[in-house]
Amino acid sequence: MIGNRVKEEVLIPAYEGRAVVVPKGHYLCIIDVEGQQVGDFVCFNRDNHGEHVSPVHMRSSLSSIRLKEGDGLYSNLRRPLMTMVKDTVGKHDFFFPACDYYRYKMDFGLEEHPNCHDNLEKALKPFDLKYDVLPDPINWFMNNVLDDEGDYVIEPPLSKPGDFVMLQALVDVVVAVSACSQDLAPVNGWKVTPLKLQVLGGV
């Protein structure tokens, strides 16, 4: 069994982001505290900031737009940086970008709305990562449904209070997660709530 000793626990308040280091062999749980809350996620190789989890490479390496237990989270160098080892929900997205300043400005006419892009950058700041453009996210618990025409319909997440995904780091990684700040669409069930991160020891 997994040696589930909690080494670090971080609450991500609604409308905010947080980042943690997950050492090689250790586990990261991303917990949906109240349910129906999307977590936008980026992941960097701690020793090579030019390598990061890359959704477009994941779609290619997995030949899929869905994630299953045992799948690798592939990087732009086409190798997995983490593996998803446990998933109590079974529905996630790695197709959509993080919500950002322009999403709220262009689509809603709002200049000051919190957004995942800025939440993630703020959370990563203390780690002094060198990158030019924030990578695209995996959106844990995001429930995009493909209709018969091949168009996406965004539905509220299927996650219930306490649902989680557990990831294992294959190298030392820096991970940031944002409690998606979108409260003007169904993506978080019209209400933004907290998430929790737990870093667990390896076997």
Q: How far is the CB of 191 from Zn ion (least distance, A)?
A: 13
- Tell me if 116 contacts Zn ion by CB under 5 A: yes
Q: How far is the CB of 137 from Zn ion (least distance, A)?
A: 8
Q: How far is the CB of 63 from Zn ion (least distance, A)?
A: 27
Residue nearer to Zn ion on the CB measure, 169 or 176: 176
Q: How far is the CB of 57 from Zn ion (least distance, A)?
A: 22
Q: How far is the CB of 136 from Zn ion (least distance, A)?
A: 12
Q: How far is the CB of 162 from Zn ion (least distance, A)?
A: 21
Inter-residue contact 27 to 168 (CB < 8 Å): yes
Structure tokens at 163: 């649902």
Residue nearer to Zn ion on the CB measure, 166 or 187: 187
The residues in 166-185 that bind Zn ion, with binding defined as CB under 5 A, are 180, 182
Q: How many CB atoms lie within 10 A of CB 99?
A: 27
Residue nearer to Zn ion on the CB measure, 115 or 198: 115
Residue nearer to Zn ion on the CB measure, 116 or 175: 116
Instruction: Compute the distance between CA of residue 73 and CA of residue 55 in angstroms, rounded to an integer.
Output: 8
- Tell me if 99 contacts Zn ion by CB under 5 A: yes
Residue nearer to Zn ion on the CB measure, 142 or 169: 142
Residue nearer to Zn ion on the CB measure, 25 or 95: 95
Segment interacting with Zn ion (CB under 5 A) among 3-11, 29-37, 80-88, 92-100: 92-100
Kindly list the residues in this chain that would bind Zn ion in the complex (CB under 5 A). 99, 116, 180, 182
